[in-house]
Amino acid sequence: MYAFDIDTADKTELYRDLAAALDALTADEPDAIANMANVSALIWQYLPGLNWAGFYRNVNDELVLGPFQGKAACIRIPFGKGVCGTAAATRETQLVEDVHAFPGHIACDAASRSELVVPIVVQGVLLGVLDLDSPDPARFDAGDAAGCEALMRILGPRLVG
């Protein structure tokens, strides 16, 4: 049904192509879970070096596991705890080169070494977070953070139905 050909070494171009693919996948779909599921699969397929890609949803001021790709994960994360909980509490992207050096890191997968978490905020409301993990130290950089923030700016409004 959808055929996306994303093959580039240029990170800016990669995220531009991912944004176009995300837009095409989610443009006419009102279901938030379906959109998160497709976006986690898209990111998993096209971003190299990941061992987990998915979402945690804000349910009554607690992060609850949403659609993802990778190994089984922690189901609930309190705001302020770990990388995801910190992103939710501060509403700021968390770019962590070494998760073992992050105070209070929650190790759902012991193989994870670096993490990028982007809060999804629409009209001042935190809907959840995008969470990307990698077994490679310092896998994520400012380009990844900016690219994923742009992706979430497209997706966010499509999660409120």
Q: What is the CATH number of the domain that holds 111?
A: 3.30.450.40
Let me know: does 95 contact 140? Beta carbons within 8 Å.
yes
- Residue range of the domain that includes 92: 9-156
User: Is 3 domain-assigned?
Assistant: no
Helix-then-strand count for the chain, H and E? 4, 6
pLDDT of residue 94: 97
Report the pLDDT value the prediction gives residue 3, as an integer from 0 to 100. 47
Q: Which residues of the chain have pLDDT under 50?
A: 1-6
In a domain, 2, yes or no: no
Is 4 inside a domain boundary? no
Q: Using one digit for the tens of pLDDT, what is the confidence trace for 75-116?
A: 999 999 999 999 999 999 999 999 888 776 666 667 788 999
* Total domains, the chain: 1
Q: Which residue has the tokens 């998160």?
A: 36
User: What pLDDT, on the 0 to 100 scale, is given for residue 105?
Assistant: 63
Instruction: Note the pLDDT of residue 53.
Output: 97
Residue 109 confidence (pLDDT): 64
How many angstroms separate the CA atoms of 126 and 99, rounded?
A: 23
